[in-house]
Amino acid sequence: MEKLTITATLATPFVTGGGYMTFDAILAGTLFDQIGDVDEAHAAIPIQCTEGLYHASAAFFKPLDYSSIDFVANLRANHSLDPSLIAKKPDGKTIHKAIGMKRRRDFGAVMNTYSLICANSITCCDEGDRSQIENLVAPIYFIGTRRASGFGEVSSWEIEEGVSDGLTGSDKKPLRPIPEAAFTGDKTSLRADTGWRPAYWHPADRSICYVSELLL
């Protein structure tokens, strides 16, 4: 493993729903597309990992413009849900109210607001296997969300020798979300309730973390 600085040069603005876009999450998405299994994809991320915490920073950038953009999406009534999140009847087993096809009329279009960021490039720091990372980022042509709409197009990747382990900078400030118990840097840094390991969207992977003050 070696310390690396990874830069993605952007051809179009990128869109994000908020939070941090960590480099391990970018690689995890690519690995899942190849492997098809979440746990195996996470285990294959070629980045140093300490008790679930990947040594990979969030994406940093200098915005040329920062605005919001709205997209319309249709709710899917038959979308599968985590059973633990659905109310049960008193027997504790039967779902209280299922969403059947006849109730699709109760669901329609909704407006979602995202952040639209214009930047020449984004940069991440990490401690990982350079050769494997080069192979993984080579076919990544889009990052962020709304990729199918043409946002977040990457024109090139550059990987150079770095000086950071992807966790903290020279000022001891966090470069990514780090749980309180695992953080050894500047304890005056900002804290927030956020995801700190993949899958970042899952409630079980959230905690009070020290975070970078540069939010995406």
* Mean pLDDT of the residues in the chain: 85
Per the listing, tokens 């990874």 go with 6
Positions of the chain with pLDDT under 70: 74-109, 214-216
Give the three-class secondary structure for 68: strand
Q: Report CA Rg, the chain.
A: 19
Give the three-class secondary structure for 198: coil
State residue 17's pLDDT score. 80
What are the pLDDT digits (tens) for 46-90? 999 999 999 999 999 888 887 888 877 765 555 545 556 555 656
Helix, strand, coil in percent for the chain, rounding step 5 = 20, 35, 45
Distance of CA 212 to the CA centre of its chain: 14
The DSSP secondary structure of 23-60, one letter per residue, reads HHHHHHHHHHHHH--HHHHHHT--B-EETTEESBPBPB
